[in-house]
Amino acid sequence: MTYDINRDELMHVLQNLIRINSVNPYLDEDGPGERQIARYIAERLQASGLLVRFQPINDTAANVIGILNGTGGGKTLMLNGHMDTVSAKRMEIEPFEPRYESGRVYGRGSLDMKGSLAAMIAAVEAVKRSEISLTGDVILTFVADEEFKSIGTEELVKEYTADAAIVCEPTNLDIGVVHKGFAWIKCEVFGKSAHGSRPQEGVDAIVRAGRVLREIERLCEQLGAKEHPIVGPPSVHASLIGGGTELSTYPDYCKLELERRTIPGETEAEVMAEMEAIMSRLSGEDEQFRARYELFFLREPFEVSTEEPVYRCLHQAISNRLQRPPKVAGFSGWADSALLQGAGIPTVLFGPVGEGLHASSECVEFESLVDMAHVLAETIIDFCR
């Protein structure tokens, strides 16, 4: 196979992407969203000769789809990456002015995941320049809102499908085949307001919420007995708490918001049953205990077989480039891979090396992006030819 990754262009695109503020407005009210970065990517893909389409989502969010058409009859491969980032406030570095130092590129989104977006573009541009004949199509999908509710990929799968997909989240150049899901749960605990000097008239909602927290701690210990061989046990933690009106008043309301991380095989029904058991137990211990709960957002866990053709193609390409077989890895967070797999597209995760996901200092190792682009190009040629 003859193709060439243009290192200078890879660096140029990465730096330009970092300079564009694409902070998710659902996470930071000052975030502008993805419209500007979407325009930049679309113009780059059009200049490279790809067919480009937009999927508008709302006032700040849009997906960009770039398609390299094959001659027909082959398998279609989708590469997926998100354009949004978490907030850049309180960073130790200048978030939108990329800095190259000791082999690393620093800036908000450098690792999560503008480095991967640049590598995706570099790989497809290299394949197109090579004039290697593909029978299948390559679909580059640059999506919005992965950092919050993934409305971008939810919209994407309504119109686009493929024979396989690679989600280009950072995996240290190994292959991610599994990640946890999550459920967000709201628990409201009710009391009775009264003057702080009249305990016989009041019911303290915050103290009773503490009983829920005690049960959540116990549940977390119980969940430790479950174990997935790659991503470990499921978990639960209290994320947010609020209640009370003033120091001299018994609080009549307290709200807890919980996150339950799930492993493959666990279901929504199991999570709901855990909460129901907690509420029943506390109600049985105290007739004044009143609470209700609601599971208000759910994302399923993800797992894919290592027998999938896309896994085998990617494994071979990594082995060829790095001269070592990749590890079979788990991804620590949730990713759009679960939505793609749920839409019937066999999906794996593959991305670069770096540090500082969502942290005050974020960087990606540039050589890992060069390696990543080579691996993606070889996988495209193998899978789509």
Name the token pair of 321. Answer: 């480039």
Domain positions in the chain? 7-179+301-384, 181-299
Tens-digit pLDDT profile for residues 304-334: 999 999 999 999 999 999 999 999 999 888 9
In the Cβ-directed half-sphere of 353, how many Cα atoms lie within 13 Å?
11
Closest C-alpha among 70, 22, 114 to residue 383: 70
Pairing of strands 347-350, 175-179: antiparallel
Tens-digit pLDDT profile for residues 263-276: 999 999 999 999 99
- CATH classification number, 181-299, choose in 1.10.630.10, 3.30.365.10, 3.40.50.2020, 3.30.70.360: 3.30.70.360
Name the token pair of 187. Answer: 């628990």
CATH for the stretch 7-179+301-384: 3.40.630.10
DSSP H or E stretch at residue 261: strand 253-262
DSSP string, 307-342: TSHHHHHHHHHHHHHHSSPPPEEEESS--THHHHHH
State the Cα–Cα distance between residues 284 and 239, nearest whole angstrom: 26
Exposure letters 296-308 (e unless 16+ CB within 10 A, then b): eeebbbbbbeeeb
Exposure letters 145-178 (e unless 16+ CB within 10 A, then b): bbbeebbbbbbbbeebebbbbbbbbbbebbbbbb
Cα angle for residues 354, 357, 360 (degrees, 5° grid):
105
Spans of the chain below 50 pLDDT: none
Shared fold status for 7-179+301-384 and 181-299: no
State the Cα–Cα distance between residues 147 and 157, nearest whole angstrom: 17
Position 215, amino acid: E
pTM: predicted TM-score of the whole model, two decimal places: 0.93
Position 322, amino acid: L
Name the token pair of 126. Answer: 């290299």
Helices (H), ranges, the chain = 7-19, 35-47, 115-130, 151-159, 205-223, 268-285, 309-322, 337-342, 366-384
Question: With contact defined as beta carbons under 8 Å apart, do 111 and 356 qualify?
Answer: yes
pLDDT at 332: 80
Q: How many helices (H) and strands (E) are present in the chain, helices listed first?
A: 9, 17
CB-based contacts of 312, cutoff 8 Å, min separation 6: none
Cα angle for residues 309, 10, 57 (degrees, 5° grid):
70
The owner of tokens 């593909």 is: 134
pLDDT at 280: 97
From the CB of residue 17, how many other CB atoms can be counted at a distance below 10 Å? 24
Position 231, amino acid: V
In the Cβ-directed half-sphere of 347, how many Cα atoms lie within 13 Å?
28
Backbone dihedral region for residue 12 (phi beyond 0: left; psi -120 to 50: alpha; all else: beta): alpha
pLDDT at 3: 85
Question: With contact defined as beta carbons under 8 Å apart, do 231 and 178 qualify?
Answer: yes
DSSP H or E stretch at residue 220: helix 205-223
State the Cα–Cα distance between residues 102 and 123, nearest whole angstrom: 24
